[in-house]
């Protein structure tokens, strides 16, 4: 594990990715405790303020402190994205493994169906599901999880199939190991790694998908401090103060770049050949 | 293959619109309609039939080219949707064009100058490109180029047939916004494909024969490295269609994405069904063409 961490930190992507994701996680855990202001406190006298000692990133159209809102909104944005990605990955991994295991006609049918589901753009799929269930944060989570499942199923299946053909699996079979042992000790460790890499990169897509749903009015609802919603609300006032638009955008970008870099770093660290 | 895809999509779309808590009869007659009037309308619309029968009727009509009547406007859905699709395709084609013009050379430069400054700059740009969702880049672009600089109009759509120059000017921001993520993704893919190809034996052999590096790149490396790009671009059409929804909403372009958002918000079931079906069909057809093109260009692959 320590050796793995060393390999991860040696790649520039891994090091910067760990730094950014670590920073985001700190904000998720401690953000609400250290926020200097109440994120929903309106102060009509100090609207559209630029950055100052009291308001580090300035104030928005209602005089709310942008920095505090970002710190508190991290949970709504990042935690939801991570949960949705994990849920989507589990569903997808289950379908993908089952498909690879069943093989033959069943495999063909499942994969063709997955292809068909994937022909609906994931944003549109999420929009339909949220509209079906009603717009709320939990429903947005379910929508993103369902939208991610087919892609993850496809990846899991292809990884499982290629691992199944490896010599070390055949060697284990030749040694007379039990199926349970082969699946647990030989296949699983090699299937999990690429899935974790894909999952890490997908978190950044999930963050963007959540933000987009909120932006279109189908995710978090005002006055929540969700980052996508903050951008959406800022649109009408952006010519008065660019800060209300810029800072939530920067926050979204940091999370997305962080998880993307971490995913790339993990891929390099987990694959000794490159 | 395409037929099966569209069949599954039609099932999904129909299932979702069946579960949607919207009663078409109530929507058409209003909340205060009498029970008798509602029942009569349901009967004429076939809403009292079993679900599978409704699905069969709907599918039969779709196959005949009749996509139903909008609950919101009372007009046939099909012509309106296809007209909107035309505007979206215009947007999509310009975006893919811009993407190819920029992404392929960027990827090639990054691969040739691997590890050098140019490579690092391209990869930084591509990380920045995938980091921001379309609605953020679109909003920032409007703020900078429309609000501050006043170079370009913030929103709106002008048909090219009406006023070509004005139409193009209105398309500049939406096209740029849509292509950013595509450029980031495709340039990264071109780079990694080309890096792989440059390490193969036949490239080494070509170099050892004494062919100039430009010739090696043009005649040997690029031909093989650019082939997978076709598949990647085709798969990216899924992202593109999603991005089109957001960008049309922000820039007020009356394309299929905006039609769909309006339909979803109004729970206009026939319009939702038609819109999703058309989007899925577009994606499937593009990927089908890409597969054929790939097999045609790469003689090693044969489809039955």
Residue B233 is predicted with a pLDDT of: 85
Domain ranges, ordered by start, for chain A? 2-270
For the stretch B48-52, contacts whose Cβ atoms lie closer than 8 Å and that sit 24 or more positions apart, written own/partner, are B51/B18
Give the percent of chain B with pLDDT over 90. 4
pLDDT at A82 over 50: yes
> Among residues A24, A4, A139, which one has the least CA distance to residue A73?
A24
SS (H, E, C) A260-271: HHHHHHHHHHHC
pLDDT tens-digit readout, B27-79: 666 667 777 777 777 777 667 677 787 888 888 888 877 777 777 777 888 88
CA distance A69 to chain B (A): 18
Residue A274 is predicted with a pLDDT of: 43
CA distance A94 to A98: 6
pLDDT at B161 over 90: no
Domains of chain B by range and CATH? 2-63 (no CATH), 77-297 (1.10.3720.10)
> Among residues B225, B205, B232, which one has the least CA distance to residue B112?
B225
Is the model more confident about B63 or about B99?
B99
Residue B164 is predicted with a pLDDT of: 82
The β-bridge partners of B76 are: B69
Is the model more confident about B99 or about B22?
B99
CB-closest option in A120, A131, A242 to B143: A242
CA angle B157, B159, B160 (to 5 degrees): 125
ipTM, two decimals: 0.81
With a CB cutoff of 8 Å and minimum separation 6, the contacts of A90 are: none
Whether the CB of B279 is below 8 Å from some CB of chain A: the reply is yes
Residue A37 is predicted with a pLDDT of: 74
Q: Name the one residue in this structure whose structure tokens are 């159209």.
A: A61
Both structure tokens of A224? 């929540």
CA distance B43 to B23: 13
Residue B116 is predicted with a pLDDT of: 81
Q: What is chain B's mean pLDDT, rounded?
A: 82
pLDDT tens-digit readout, B207-220: 888 888 788 887 77
B97: pLDDT confidence band, cut at 50, 70 and 90? Answer: very high
CA distance B143 to chain A (A): 7
Average pLDDT over residues A141-153: 88
User: Chain B: residue nearest A230 by CA?
Assistant: B136
Whether the CB of B149 is below 8 Å from some CB of chain A: the reply is no
CA angle B239, A238, A54 (to 5 degrees): 115
Whether the CB of B131 is below 8 Å from some CB of chain A: the reply is yes
CB-CB under 8 Å, A253 with B238: no
Is the model more confident about B115 or about A17?
A17
A53 cis-preceded (ω within 30 degrees of 0): no
Whether the CB of A43 is below 8 Å from some CB of chain B: the reply is no
B141: pLDDT confidence band, cut at 50, 70 and 90? Answer: confident
In the CATH scheme, what is the homologous superfamily, with its name and number, of domain A2-270? MetI-like (1.10.3720.10)
Residue B78 is predicted with a pLDDT of: 83
CA distance A8 to A272: 11
CB-CB under 8 Å, B5 with A116: yes
Q: Which of B39-53, B135-149, B289-303 has the highest mean pLDDT?
A: B135-149
User: Chain A: residue nearest B241 by CA?
Assistant: A121
Per CB-CB distance under 8 Å, the chain A contacts of B9 are 116-117, 119-120
- Where does residue B219 rank: exposed (0-12), middle (13-18), buried (19+ CB within 10 A)? exposed
Give the percent of chain A with pLDDT over 90. 4
CB-closest option in B1, B134, B242 to A124: B242
Average pLDDT over residues A134-161: 85
Q: Within a 13 Å sphere around the CA of A58, how many CA atoms are in the beta-carbon half? A: 16
pLDDT at A210 over 60: yes
Longest dimension (CA), chain A: 78
The answer to whether the CB of B89 falls within 8 A of the CB of B175 is no
Whether the CB of A208 is below 8 Å from some CB of chain B: the reply is yes
pLDDT at A238 over 80: no
The dihedral region occupied by A114, where left means phi > 0, alpha psi between -120 and 50, and beta the remainder, is: alpha
Both structure tokens of A32? 């609400």
pLDDT at A28 over 80: yes
CA distance A65 to A179: 58
Is the model more confident about B62 or about A141?
A141
Give the percent of chain A with pLDDT over 70. 95
A214: pLDDT confidence band, cut at 50, 70 and 90? Answer: confident
Residue A88 is predicted with a pLDDT of: 92
Give start and end residues of each alpha helix (H) in B76-200: 77-112, 117-131, 134-141, 164-198
Per CB-CB distance under 8 Å, the chain A contacts of B243 are 123
Average pLDDT over residues B125-133: 82
Residue B273 is predicted with a pLDDT of: 86
Write out the DSSP string of A243-258: HHHHHHHHHHHHHHHH
Is the model more confident about B150 or about B187?
B187
Residue B101 is predicted with a pLDDT of: 92
CA distance B97 to A100: 38
Whether the CB of A257 is below 8 Å from some CB of chain B: the reply is yes
CA distance B40 to B63: 27
Whether the CB of B267 is below 8 Å from some CB of chain A: the reply is yes
pLDDT at A56 over 50: yes
CB-CB under 8 Å, B238 with A121: yes
* Per-window interface: A 167-186 vs B, CB < 8 A: none
The answer to whether the CB of B178 falls within 8 A of the CB of B93 is no
Is the model more confident about A78 or about B72?
A78
Indicate which of B133, B177, B273, B280 best probes the interface with A, i.e. most A CBs within 10 Å of its own CB.
Answer: B133
Average pLDDT over residues A14-35: 85
Cα B260 to its chain centre, rounded Å, is 13
Both structure tokens of B38? 């509602």
The answer to whether the CB of B184 falls within 8 A of the CB of B101 is no
pLDDT tens-digit readout, B3-17: 888 888 888 888 877
pLDDT tens-digit readout, A84-133: 999 999 888 888 878 877 778 888 888 888 888 888 888 888 888 888 78
CB-CB under 8 Å, B261 with A216: yes
Q: Within a 13 Å sphere around the CA of B289, how many CA atoms are in the beta-carbon half? A: 9
The answer to whether the CB of A62 falls within 8 A of the CB of A37 is no
The answer to whether the CB of B66 falls within 8 A of the CB of B78 is yes
User: Chain B: residue nearest A108 by CA?
Assistant: B1
Cα A215 to its chain centre, rounded Å, is 17
CB-closest option in A117, A234, A238 to B12: A117
Residue A270 is predicted with a pLDDT of: 76
Per CB-CB distance under 8 Å, the chain A contacts of B19 are 132
Per CB-CB distance under 8 Å, the chain A contacts of B143 are 238-239, 242, 245
Q: Which of A211-215, A219-223, A238-242 has the highest mean pLDDT?
A: A211-215
CA distance A22 to chain B (A): 17
pLDDT tens-digit readout, B163-205: 888 888 888 889 998 898 888 888 888 888 888 888 888 888 8
CA distance A245 to A239: 10
> Among residues A179, A177, A199, which one has the least CA distance to residue A101?
A179
Whether the CB of A155 is below 8 Å from some CB of chain B: the reply is no
Element (H, E) at B264: helix B256-266
Per CB-CB distance under 8 Å, the chain B contacts of A113 are 8
Average pLDDT over residues A42-69: 74
Residue A264 is predicted with a pLDDT of: 84
CB-CB under 8 Å, B279 with A216: no
């Amino acid at each position: 594990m320590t050796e793995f961490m060393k390999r991860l930190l040696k790649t520039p992507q891994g090091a910067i990715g760990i730094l950014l994701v670590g920073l985001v996680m700190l904000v998720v855990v401690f953000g609400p405790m250290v926020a200097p202001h109440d994120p929903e406190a309106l102060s009509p006298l100090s609207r559209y303020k630029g950055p100052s000692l009291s308001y580090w990133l300035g104030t928005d159209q209602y005089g709310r402190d942008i920095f505090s809102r970002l710190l508190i909104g991290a949970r709504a944005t990042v935690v939801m994205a991570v949960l949705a990605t994990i849920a989507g990955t589990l569903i997808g991994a289950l379908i993908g493994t089952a498909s690879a295991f069943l093989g033959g006609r069943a495999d063909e049918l499942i994969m063709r169906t997955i292809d068909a589901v994937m022909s609906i753009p994931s944003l549109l799929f999420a929009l339909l599901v949220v509209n079906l269930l009603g717009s709320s944060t939990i429903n947005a989570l379910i929508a993103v999880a369902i939208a991610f499942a087919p892609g993850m199923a496809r990846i899991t299946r292809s990884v499982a199939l290629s691992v199944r053909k490896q010599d070390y699996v055949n060697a284990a079979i030749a040694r007379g190991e039990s199926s349970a042992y082969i699946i647990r000790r030989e296949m699983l460790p090699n299937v999990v790694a690429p899935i974790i890499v894909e999952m890490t990169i997908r978190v950044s897509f999930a963050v963007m998908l959540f933000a987009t749903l909120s932006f279109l009015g189908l995710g978090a609802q005002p006055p929540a401090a969700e980052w996508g919603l903050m951008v959406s609300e800022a649109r009408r006032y952006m010519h008065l103060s660019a800060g209300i638009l810029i800072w939530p955008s920067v926050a979204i970008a940091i999370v997305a770049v962080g998880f993307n870099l971490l995913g790339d770093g993990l891929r390099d660290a987990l694959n000794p050949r490159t | 293959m395409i037929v099966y895809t569209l069949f599954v999509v039609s099932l999904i779309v129909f299932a979702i619109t069946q579960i949607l808590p919207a009663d078409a009869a109530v929507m058409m007659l209003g909340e205060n309609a009498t029970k008798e009037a509602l029942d009569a309308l349901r009967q004429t619309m076939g809403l009292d039939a079993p679900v599978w029968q409704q699905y069969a009727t709907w599918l039969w009509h779709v196959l005949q080219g009749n996509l139903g009547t909008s609950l919101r406007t009372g007009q046939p859905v099909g012509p309106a949707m296809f007209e909107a699709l035309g505007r979206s395709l215009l947007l999509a084609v310009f975006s893919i064009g811009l993407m190819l013009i920029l992404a392929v050379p960027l990827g090639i430069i990054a691969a040739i100058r691997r590890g050098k400054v140019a490579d690092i700059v391209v990869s930084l740009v591509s990380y920045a490109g995938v980091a921001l969702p379309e609605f953020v880049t679109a909003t920032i672009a409007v703020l900078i180029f429309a609000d501050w600089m006043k170079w370009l109009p913030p929103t709106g759509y002008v048909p090219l047939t009406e006023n070509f120059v004005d139409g193009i000017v209105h398309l500049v921001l939406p096209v740029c916004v849509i292509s950013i993520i595509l450029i980031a993704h495709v340039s990264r893919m071109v780079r990694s494909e080309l890096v792989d190809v440059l390490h193969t034996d036949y490239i080494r052999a070509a170099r050892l024969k004494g062919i100039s590096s430009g010739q090696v790149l043009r005649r040997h490396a690029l031909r093989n490295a650019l082939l997978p790009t076709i598949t990647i671009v085709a798969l990216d059409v899924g992202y593109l269609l999603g991005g089109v929804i957001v960008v049309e909403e922000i820039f007020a372009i009356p394309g299929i994405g905006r039609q769909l958002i309006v339909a979803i918000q109004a729970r206009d079931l026939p319009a939702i069904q038609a819109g999703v079906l058309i989007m899925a069909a577009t994606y499937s057809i593009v990927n089908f063409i890409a597969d054929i093109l790939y097999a045609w260009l790469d003689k090693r692959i044969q489809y039955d």
